[in-house]
Every structure is written in structure tokens, then in C-alpha cells.
Amino acid sequence: MLPGPDGGRRGPRRRSKRRALIAVLVAGLVVIVIGVASTVGFTRLVHHFTRSTADYADPIGAEQEVTITAGESLRGIGAALATAGVVKSEGAFVDAAGANPKSAQVHPGTFKLAKHMPAKEALSRLLDPSYQVLSHVVIPEGRTSAEIIAALSAATGVSVAQFTTAMENPSSYNLPSWDINPDGHKSEGFLFPATYDFQPGAGATTILQSLTKAFGFAAAATGLNTTAGPQNLTPFQVLTVASLVQAEAKRAEDMPKIAEVIYNRLKAGMKLELDTTVIYANGGQHALTTTAAQRALNSPYNTYVAKGLPPGPIDSPGEAAIKAALAPATGSYLYFVAVNPQTGETLFANTAAEHAANVAQFQAWMRAHPNYS
């Protein structure tokens, strides 16, 4: 072989050195990459094989409540349960979750668990709604804001004072932006009657938002926001009529006729003369009848004194009452009275004389049932 340009035969040796240098550089780069990756992946891998998977066996211990926070991973939940003494190890819970395809459905909340539970059973409880700790509140139709707040406070532990403070800022709990009469009680009528479940720790504003959100759904379902009110009434005025219907009706089937009476009296320029408005004006103490002194109270809510609708709702009506206020029965009735408060039987009349006869029937029933209230 002839010598190369440099006078020797060192070409192949140089190429070998370059290859070796490249190999060293690549190896070094691989080591660096592995070193960086190991801070996450390798540690996790080691943890997977070295973590404890010790588990409890029956019997379980004393009951206790555990709160799962939003955004917590299954591993984080397992660690929290282990710290609380519910499961024996984080690993046991992670393994139980990995074997259960529904484990992704675990959601935040407070749950009734117990000390020393097998991880599989702890996971089962987290997936079972019956083990979630909630404040269960039933708000019936026709309750005033004050009555509703008292019920919410008793069920949730949030004080009436906290609710009162929250209600001073109507925008915070999403009241409709309607043209509300400034003399009206702003929350009255908007705390929708329904069944609610609240998480422990829910604040006054959050709770109120649930009720006004339910009202929004009801308003949309009935067309309260979009349907033209009888006699060109605004949605707020229709809601006021609905509250009167709810307060006066003993049976759902009578609601459209009671709404008919209200609208006929408004059209005729007659005072509504509804005892329920008198009761509301006098502080809300429920009773079958009112006294002359109560009916003489000078209040815009007293429809024996003030003509037209009261300034706002006197309670929170349900969907049936709202529908009746939007679509009253058509007829000429001007009067009604419940002649049997026990059954709710209600008689309607066109004239004052007919109504007087019906009232006499109610009074006879009252005499026969002196202890009924």
C-alpha cells in the first residue's frame, strides 16, 4: 500500500479513535438522560416495588369521617387514608383502586369510613353515595325566606346571621336581574322549594346559590322568564301572584281558579283581601283565620288595606303555582274559601252573597273542629 498524504498509514486508526470518542459522548449523554429521568421514573419504579402493601383484615374499627379534597390523586387519597388509620398502607389502597375499574369515579367530599378497614372495603365506601356525609334539607312549597333560612341553618350548622349577611349582597347568590320593587324583600320567592344535599363546610353564599339556581331551572321550565304575564304583569309580579296562589291553595287542582280570582279582582279594581297576606304582614305566624286588628294593619303587604298586588312575593312558590299564575283558569269567579281545611275542599263564588254562604259553611266546620289548627 502506498503512503497516504501525511506520509504514513494512519487513516484507519484515526477513524477508530473518532468512533470511540463518539461512543463515549453518546454514553455520557445517555447517562445524563437516565440520571435526570431517574428523579421521576426510576424513583417511582423503585417505590412501586418497595412500597408497603400491607392491608387490614376484618373486623373493622370505630367509624370516622374522612374528607377527600378536590384534585387528589388515588395515591394521595391512599396516603390520606393511611394517615387517618383507615387503611394500613397507601399501597394497599392503590392496589385496590387499580383492580377496580370504577375507582376513577371517586369524587371529593366527606365520607363515613372506619378505622382499620381492608383497602377494598374503604374504596367501596368511597364509591357508594350512601356513605357520603351530606346535610339533607327539604324545603316545602310556600315557605317564607325566614322559614327557609331557619331550616337551612338547622340542617347545615351555618348560622342565621351568616345567611343574613350573605343575603345583603343579592348578586353574590345570583338573584335574577329583574325589576324588583324596592319595597319588596329581595330574596322572597327566589329560594326555590326542593330537596337539597349540601357538603359539610358549605358556606351561606354557596347554599343560597343552590336554591336560586334551582329557581332558575324552574323559571325556564315554566316560561316565567319568557311568557307574557296576564294583564301585562312583569315576571316579578307574576311570581308575586304565584306566591299568593301557593299560600292560599290547599289542593293543586284549585290553583288555576285561585289565580283566576286574583286576576279578576285586580281587573275590577277590588282589593284582594287575602288572609295570607295579612299573616305575612303581621310577622308570618300561620293561622286559619285573622283578627280585625290584624286586618287593619297599615302595611303594603296587607291586601285588606292596600289595593293591588303586594310589593313582592310572600313565600317561595313551586312550579304548579307558577304555572297557575301564568295560565289562570278563565271565568268570572271573584271569591273563594276553603270550607274544609282538613281535606282542602275549596268553594268559589261569583257574588258576595254566594261567598257569604260559603264562609258560613267554613265557620260551621270550625265550630265542629274547635281544636283544629
Does the pLDDT at position 37 exceed 70?
no
**Mean pLDDT of all residues in the chain?**
88
End-to-end CA distance of the chain: give it in Å, rounded: 125
CB 67 within 8 A of CB 55: no
Does the pLDDT at position 45 exceed 50?
no
Secondary structure (DSSP) of 332-366: ---EEEEEETTTTEEEEESSHHHHHHHHHHHHHHH
Query: What is the CB neighbour count within 10 angstroms for residue 354?
Result: 15
Burial zone of 116 (CB within 10 Å; 0-12 exposed, 13-18 middle, 19+ buried):
middle
Q: Closest by alpha carbon to 318, among 193, 233, 213?
A: 193
**Mean per-residue pLDDT, 265-270:** 97
Task: Please report the pLDDT score of residue 33 as a whole number.
Answer: 44
**Mean per-residue pLDDT, 115-139:** 94
CB 87 within 8 A of CB 75: no
Q: What share of the chain is helix, strand, coil (3-state, %, to 5)?
A: 50, 10, 40
**Mean per-residue pLDDT, 23-34:** 51
Task: Please report the pLDDT score of residue 69 as a whole number.
Answer: 86
Task: Please report the pLDDT score of residue 185 as a whole number.
Answer: 64
Quick: pLDDT tens for 90-102: 999 999 999 999 9
Give the least confident one: 41-45, 158-162, 267-271, 293-297: 41-45
Q: Closest by alpha carbon to 276, among 284, 268, 266?
A: 284
Does the pLDDT at position 373 exceed 70?
yes
Task: Please report the pLDDT score of residue 28 as a whole number.
Answer: 53
Quick: pLDDT tens for 179-210: 665 655 679 999 999 999 998 889 999 999 99
Task: Please report the pLDDT score of residue 51 as a whole number.
Answer: 67
**Mean per-residue pLDDT, 360-372:** 93
**Mean per-residue pLDDT, 72-101:** 94
Rounded to whole angstroms, the Cα distance separating 56 from 305 reads 72
DSSP annotation of 130 reads: G
Confidence label for 175 from pLDDT (cuts 50, 70 and 90)? confident
Q: What is the residue whose three cell numbers read 412501586? A: 48
Confidence label for 300 from pLDDT (cuts 50, 70 and 90)? very high
Does the pLDDT at position 218 exceed 80?
yes
Report CA 74 to chain centroid distance, whole Å: 27
Task: Please report the pLDDT score of residue 8 as a whole number.
Answer: 47
**Mean per-residue pLDDT, 333-348:** 96
Rounded to whole angstroms, the Cα distance separating 202 from 200 reads 6
Does the pLDDT at position 15 exceed 90?
no
Tell me the torsion sign for CA atoms 55, 58, 62, 63: positive
